[in-house]
Amino acid sequence: MDNILIGSSSPHIRSEETVKRIMLDVIIALTPAMIGSIYFFGFNAFKLILISVISSVVFEALIQKAFKKEVTVYDLSAVVTGILLAFNLPATAPWWLPVIGSAFAIIVVKQFFGGLGQNFMNPALAARAMLLSSWPTLMSAFVAPGAVDGQSSATPLSIMKYGASDAAASATVAEAGDALPALKEMFLGNIGGAIGETSALLLLIGAVYLLIRGVINWRIPFTYIGTTVIVLLLLGTEMEQIPYHIFAGGLILGAFYMATDYASSPVTPLGQIIFGIGAGLLTAIIRVKGGYPEGVSYSILLMNVATPLIERFTSPKVFGEVK
Protein backbone atom coordinates (compact mmCIF):
# COMPACT_ATOMS: atom_id res chain seq x y z
CA MET A 1 0.00 0.00 0.00
CA ASP A 2 2.91 2.35 0.57
CA ASN A 3 3.80 2.19 -3.12
CA ILE A 4 0.38 3.04 -4.51
CA LEU A 5 0.60 5.36 -7.51
CA ILE A 6 -1.81 8.26 -7.25
CA GLY A 7 -2.81 9.71 -10.59
CA SER A 8 -4.22 13.24 -10.87
CA SER A 9 -4.68 15.75 -13.67
CA SER A 10 -2.12 18.42 -14.44
CA PRO A 11 -0.77 20.92 -13.64
CA HIS A 12 1.17 19.53 -10.70
CA ILE A 13 2.34 22.29 -8.41
CA ARG A 14 4.06 21.88 -5.06
CA SER A 15 4.09 24.81 -2.70
CA GLU A 16 5.01 25.41 0.91
CA GLU A 17 2.44 28.20 1.12
CA THR A 18 -0.62 27.72 3.31
CA VAL A 19 -3.62 29.95 3.94
CA LYS A 20 -2.38 30.55 7.47
CA ARG A 21 1.10 31.54 6.26
CA ILE A 22 -0.31 33.97 3.70
CA MET A 23 -2.69 35.53 6.22
CA LEU A 24 0.12 35.83 8.73
CA ASP A 25 2.17 37.71 6.12
CA VAL A 26 -0.74 40.11 5.59
CA ILE A 27 -1.05 40.66 9.36
CA ILE A 28 2.68 41.36 9.57
CA ALA A 29 2.37 43.82 6.68
CA LEU A 30 -0.54 45.59 8.39
CA THR A 31 1.23 45.81 11.76
CA PRO A 32 3.11 49.09 11.06
CA ALA A 33 -0.17 50.77 10.09
CA MET A 34 -1.86 49.31 13.18
CA ILE A 35 0.82 50.74 15.43
CA GLY A 36 0.58 54.04 13.58
CA SER A 37 -3.20 54.19 14.00
CA ILE A 38 -2.87 53.72 17.75
CA TYR A 39 -0.11 56.35 17.89
CA PHE A 40 -2.15 58.91 15.95
CA PHE A 41 -5.67 58.18 17.24
CA GLY A 42 -5.01 56.72 20.67
CA PHE A 43 -6.94 54.13 22.65
CA ASN A 44 -10.07 54.42 20.50
CA ALA A 45 -8.18 53.01 17.52
CA PHE A 46 -6.85 50.09 19.60
CA LYS A 47 -10.36 49.42 20.94
CA LEU A 48 -11.94 49.40 17.47
CA ILE A 49 -9.28 47.07 16.03
CA LEU A 50 -9.60 44.68 18.98
CA ILE A 51 -13.40 44.59 18.87
CA SER A 52 -13.44 44.14 15.11
CA VAL A 53 -10.95 41.26 15.16
CA ILE A 54 -12.63 39.45 18.08
CA SER A 55 -16.07 39.90 16.50
CA SER A 56 -14.89 38.54 13.15
CA VAL A 57 -13.32 35.46 14.73
CA VAL A 58 -16.34 34.77 16.96
CA PHE A 59 -18.86 35.19 14.13
CA GLU A 60 -16.83 32.89 11.88
CA ALA A 61 -16.69 30.17 14.53
CA LEU A 62 -20.40 30.48 15.34
CA ILE A 63 -21.62 30.42 11.75
CA GLN A 64 -19.39 27.47 10.86
CA LYS A 65 -20.70 25.54 13.86
CA ALA A 66 -24.26 26.46 12.89
CA PHE A 67 -23.63 25.17 9.34
CA LYS A 68 -21.95 22.06 10.79
CA LYS A 69 -18.74 22.90 8.98
CA GLU A 70 -15.16 22.63 10.14
CA VAL A 71 -14.20 25.65 12.25
CA THR A 72 -11.30 27.31 10.44
CA VAL A 73 -10.66 30.43 12.52
CA TYR A 74 -7.07 29.28 13.00
CA ASP A 75 -6.29 30.10 9.36
CA LEU A 76 -6.28 33.80 10.45
CA SER A 77 -8.45 34.94 7.53
CA ALA A 78 -11.10 36.28 9.92
CA VAL A 79 -8.39 38.20 11.77
CA VAL A 80 -7.34 39.89 8.52
CA THR A 81 -10.95 40.79 7.74
CA GLY A 82 -11.34 42.28 11.21
CA ILE A 83 -8.21 44.41 10.88
CA LEU A 84 -9.15 45.70 7.43
CA LEU A 85 -12.67 46.53 8.55
CA ALA A 86 -11.35 48.47 11.55
CA PHE A 87 -8.94 50.32 9.26
CA ASN A 88 -11.95 51.70 7.39
CA LEU A 89 -13.63 53.14 10.49
CA PRO A 90 -13.23 56.64 11.95
CA ALA A 91 -11.68 56.82 15.41
CA THR A 92 -14.97 58.18 16.77
CA ALA A 93 -16.99 55.10 15.74
CA PRO A 94 -19.02 53.51 18.57
CA TRP A 95 -18.06 50.00 19.69
CA TRP A 96 -21.10 48.35 18.11
CA LEU A 97 -20.27 49.55 14.60
CA PRO A 98 -17.38 47.08 14.04
CA VAL A 99 -19.52 44.33 15.60
CA ILE A 100 -22.30 44.82 13.05
CA GLY A 101 -19.75 45.25 10.27
CA SER A 102 -17.95 42.04 11.23
CA ALA A 103 -21.22 40.11 11.30
CA PHE A 104 -22.09 41.31 7.80
CA ALA A 105 -18.58 40.69 6.44
CA ILE A 106 -18.17 37.19 7.86
CA ILE A 107 -21.70 35.77 7.82
CA VAL A 108 -23.28 37.37 4.76
CA VAL A 109 -20.41 38.12 2.39
CA LYS A 110 -18.04 35.28 3.29
CA GLN A 111 -19.83 32.26 4.77
CA PHE A 112 -23.17 32.52 2.96
CA PHE A 113 -21.24 32.15 -0.30
CA GLY A 114 -19.23 29.14 0.78
CA GLY A 115 -16.46 30.47 3.00
CA LEU A 116 -12.86 31.40 2.33
CA GLY A 117 -12.01 31.57 -1.36
CA GLN A 118 -15.63 31.60 -2.54
CA ASN A 119 -16.72 35.10 -1.55
CA PHE A 120 -17.42 37.17 -4.65
CA MET A 121 -16.33 40.48 -3.12
CA ASN A 122 -13.96 41.70 -0.42
CA PRO A 123 -15.78 41.14 2.91
CA ALA A 124 -14.26 44.12 4.73
CA LEU A 125 -15.06 46.53 1.89
CA ALA A 126 -18.59 45.19 1.54
CA ALA A 127 -19.10 45.73 5.26
CA ARG A 128 -17.75 49.27 5.00
CA ALA A 129 -20.17 50.05 2.17
CA MET A 130 -23.06 48.65 4.21
CA LEU A 131 -22.10 50.66 7.30
CA LEU A 132 -21.63 53.83 5.25
CA SER A 133 -25.07 53.52 3.68
CA SER A 134 -26.70 52.67 7.02
CA TRP A 135 -24.91 55.13 9.33
CA PRO A 136 -23.34 57.77 7.04
CA THR A 137 -22.92 60.35 9.81
CA LEU A 138 -21.07 57.99 12.14
CA MET A 139 -18.93 56.64 9.30
CA SER A 140 -17.96 60.15 8.18
CA ALA A 141 -17.15 61.65 11.59
CA PHE A 142 -13.41 61.90 10.98
CA VAL A 143 -11.20 63.72 13.45
CA ALA A 144 -7.62 64.93 13.38
CA PRO A 145 -5.06 62.90 15.37
CA GLY A 146 -5.05 63.86 19.01
CA ALA A 147 -8.61 65.17 18.89
CA VAL A 148 -10.69 62.00 19.06
CA ASP A 149 -13.16 63.55 21.50
CA GLY A 150 -13.18 66.86 19.70
CA GLN A 151 -14.96 68.30 16.74
CA SER A 152 -14.99 66.45 13.44
CA SER A 153 -12.53 67.73 10.86
CA ALA A 154 -12.58 67.61 7.09
CA THR A 155 -10.33 65.12 5.31
CA PRO A 156 -7.97 66.30 2.55
CA LEU A 157 -10.23 64.74 -0.10
CA SER A 158 -13.31 66.54 1.20
CA ILE A 159 -11.37 69.81 1.38
CA MET A 160 -10.36 69.48 -2.27
CA LYS A 161 -13.88 68.58 -3.30
CA TYR A 162 -16.01 70.90 -1.17
CA GLY A 163 -13.63 73.57 0.11
CA ALA A 164 -12.19 74.29 3.55
CA SER A 165 -15.61 74.66 5.17
CA ASP A 166 -18.11 71.79 5.18
CA ALA A 167 -20.81 74.32 4.39
CA ALA A 168 -18.89 75.80 1.47
CA ALA A 169 -19.65 73.06 -0.98
CA SER A 170 -19.01 75.40 -3.87
CA ALA A 171 -15.57 76.56 -2.72
CA THR A 172 -12.95 76.72 -5.44
CA VAL A 173 -9.85 74.56 -5.65
CA ALA A 174 -7.67 77.57 -4.84
CA GLU A 175 -9.65 78.27 -1.67
CA ALA A 176 -9.41 74.66 -0.63
CA GLY A 177 -5.67 74.51 -1.27
CA ASP A 178 -4.90 76.90 1.54
CA ALA A 179 -6.45 74.52 4.08
CA LEU A 180 -4.76 71.32 2.89
CA PRO A 181 -2.18 69.81 5.24
CA ALA A 182 1.50 69.66 4.34
CA LEU A 183 2.49 66.74 2.12
CA LYS A 184 4.87 65.56 4.84
CA GLU A 185 1.97 65.23 7.26
CA MET A 186 -0.02 63.45 4.56
CA PHE A 187 2.76 60.95 3.96
CA LEU A 188 3.35 60.26 7.64
CA GLY A 189 -0.34 60.04 8.50
CA ASN A 190 -0.86 63.00 10.81
CA ILE A 191 -4.20 63.88 9.19
CA GLY A 192 -7.87 63.17 9.66
CA GLY A 193 -9.39 60.07 8.12
CA ALA A 194 -10.16 56.43 8.77
CA ILE A 195 -7.78 55.02 11.37
CA GLY A 196 -5.88 52.68 9.06
CA GLU A 197 -5.67 54.64 5.82
CA THR A 198 -3.96 57.88 6.84
CA SER A 199 -0.27 56.87 6.92
CA ALA A 200 0.98 56.24 3.38
CA LEU A 201 4.47 55.53 4.71
CA LEU A 202 3.43 52.72 7.05
CA LEU A 203 1.10 51.16 4.49
CA LEU A 204 3.85 51.22 1.86
CA ILE A 205 6.30 49.53 4.25
CA GLY A 206 3.83 46.68 4.57
CA ALA A 207 3.20 46.65 0.83
CA VAL A 208 6.92 46.24 0.11
CA TYR A 209 6.96 43.29 2.51
CA LEU A 210 4.06 41.63 0.67
CA LEU A 211 5.74 42.18 -2.70
CA ILE A 212 9.03 40.71 -1.47
CA ARG A 213 7.25 37.73 0.05
CA GLY A 214 5.36 37.18 -3.20
CA VAL A 215 1.96 37.37 -1.50
CA ILE A 216 0.89 40.02 -4.02
CA ASN A 217 2.30 41.14 -7.36
CA TRP A 218 2.61 44.58 -8.96
CA ARG A 219 -0.14 44.32 -11.55
CA ILE A 220 -3.27 45.37 -9.66
CA PRO A 221 -1.85 47.98 -7.24
CA PHE A 222 0.44 49.71 -9.74
CA THR A 223 -2.09 49.81 -12.59
CA TYR A 224 -4.77 50.90 -10.10
CA ILE A 225 -2.80 53.86 -8.74
CA GLY A 226 -1.34 54.76 -12.14
CA THR A 227 -4.74 54.77 -13.84
CA THR A 228 -6.22 56.87 -11.04
CA VAL A 229 -3.51 59.51 -11.55
CA ILE A 230 -3.88 59.58 -15.34
CA VAL A 231 -7.68 59.85 -15.26
CA LEU A 232 -7.57 62.53 -12.55
CA LEU A 233 -5.33 64.62 -14.80
CA LEU A 234 -7.60 64.03 -17.79
CA LEU A 235 -10.55 65.19 -15.70
CA GLY A 236 -8.81 68.49 -14.94
CA THR A 237 -7.26 67.86 -11.53
CA GLU A 238 -4.33 70.20 -10.92
CA MET A 239 -0.89 68.57 -10.84
CA GLU A 240 -0.09 69.85 -7.34
CA GLN A 241 -3.15 68.04 -6.00
CA ILE A 242 -2.19 64.63 -7.40
CA PRO A 243 0.03 63.69 -4.39
CA TYR A 244 -2.91 64.47 -2.12
CA HIS A 245 -5.12 62.12 -4.11
CA ILE A 246 -2.50 59.37 -3.82
CA PHE A 247 -1.73 59.75 -0.12
CA ALA A 248 -5.21 60.73 1.10
CA GLY A 249 -8.16 58.43 1.50
CA GLY A 250 -7.96 54.71 1.00
CA LEU A 251 -6.13 54.51 -2.33
CA ILE A 252 -2.93 52.89 -1.02
CA LEU A 253 -4.80 50.72 1.49
CA GLY A 254 -7.26 49.62 -1.18
CA ALA A 255 -4.72 49.10 -3.96
CA PHE A 256 -2.27 46.92 -2.02
CA TYR A 257 -4.41 45.22 0.61
CA MET A 258 -7.98 44.96 -0.69
CA ALA A 259 -7.97 44.98 -4.48
CA THR A 260 -5.42 42.14 -4.35
CA ASP A 261 -7.77 39.81 -2.43
CA TYR A 262 -7.26 36.36 -3.96
CA ALA A 263 -10.91 35.31 -3.95
CA SER A 264 -12.45 38.42 -5.47
CA SER A 265 -9.83 39.55 -8.01
CA PRO A 266 -8.77 37.93 -11.31
CA VAL A 267 -6.05 35.28 -11.38
CA THR A 268 -4.96 35.86 -14.98
CA PRO A 269 -2.17 38.44 -15.55
CA LEU A 270 -4.15 40.35 -18.17
CA GLY A 271 -7.24 40.17 -16.01
CA GLN A 272 -5.38 41.70 -13.09
CA ILE A 273 -4.24 44.61 -15.24
CA ILE A 274 -7.79 45.16 -16.51
CA PHE A 275 -9.04 45.00 -12.92
CA GLY A 276 -6.55 47.66 -11.82
CA ILE A 277 -7.36 49.93 -14.76
CA GLY A 278 -11.09 49.62 -14.12
CA ALA A 279 -10.75 50.35 -10.41
CA GLY A 280 -8.55 53.37 -11.10
CA LEU A 281 -10.95 54.72 -13.70
CA LEU A 282 -13.93 54.40 -11.36
CA THR A 283 -12.07 55.88 -8.39
CA ALA A 284 -11.05 58.99 -10.32
CA ILE A 285 -14.51 59.52 -11.78
CA ILE A 286 -16.22 59.16 -8.38
CA ARG A 287 -13.75 61.52 -6.70
CA VAL A 288 -14.07 64.23 -9.34
CA LYS A 289 -17.60 63.84 -10.71
CA GLY A 290 -19.42 61.97 -7.96
CA GLY A 291 -21.19 63.34 -4.92
CA TYR A 292 -18.83 61.62 -2.49
CA PRO A 293 -15.15 62.63 -2.12
CA GLU A 294 -13.85 59.05 -1.90
CA GLY A 295 -14.38 56.28 -4.43
CA VAL A 296 -11.97 53.46 -3.56
CA SER A 297 -14.42 51.15 -1.78
CA TYR A 298 -17.15 51.28 -4.39
CA SER A 299 -14.65 51.02 -7.25
CA ILE A 300 -13.10 47.83 -5.91
CA LEU A 301 -16.51 46.31 -5.12
CA LEU A 302 -17.76 47.04 -8.63
CA MET A 303 -14.66 45.43 -10.12
CA ASN A 304 -15.12 42.45 -7.78
CA VAL A 305 -18.52 41.91 -9.36
CA ALA A 306 -16.96 42.19 -12.82
CA THR A 307 -14.17 39.69 -12.04
CA PRO A 308 -15.94 36.56 -13.44
CA LEU A 309 -16.56 38.39 -16.71
CA ILE A 310 -12.94 39.59 -16.86
CA GLU A 311 -11.65 36.07 -16.29
CA ARG A 312 -13.99 34.68 -18.92
CA PHE A 313 -12.38 36.83 -21.61
CA THR A 314 -8.78 36.69 -20.36
CA SER A 315 -8.41 32.99 -19.55
CA PRO A 316 -5.80 31.31 -21.78
CA LYS A 317 -6.97 28.80 -24.34
CA VAL A 318 -6.89 25.18 -23.30
CA PHE A 319 -4.04 23.41 -25.14
CA GLY A 320 -5.45 21.34 -27.97
CA GLU A 321 -8.94 22.83 -27.68
CA VAL A 322 -10.98 22.91 -30.87
CA LYS A 323 -13.44 25.75 -31.32
Instruction: Give the model confidence (pLDDT) of 118-136 as tens digits.
Output: 889 999 999 999 999 999 9
User: Which one-letter DSSP state was computed for residue 72?
Assistant: -
Buried b / exposed e over 254-280, threshold 16 CB at 10 Å, is: bbbbbbbbebbbbebeebbbbbbbbbb
pTM recorded for the entire structure: 0.88
The mean predicted confidence, pLDDT, of the chain is 87
Question: pLDDT per residue over 76-90, tens digit each?
Answer: 999 999 999 999 999
pLDDT higher than threshold 50 for residue 195: yes
Per-residue pLDDT at 127: 96
Provide the 10 A C-beta neighbour count for residue 175: 14
**pLDDT class for 5, splitting at 50, 70, 90?**
very low
Quick check: helix, strand or coil at residue 101? Answer: helix
Q: Calculate mean pLDDT across residues 154-180.
A: 58
Per-residue pLDDT at 319: 65
Task: Give the span between the Cα atoms of 53 and 149, in whole angstroms.
Answer: 23
**For residue 35, which of 24, 46, 19, 23 has the smallest C-alpha distance?**
46
CB 62 within 8 A of CB 113: no
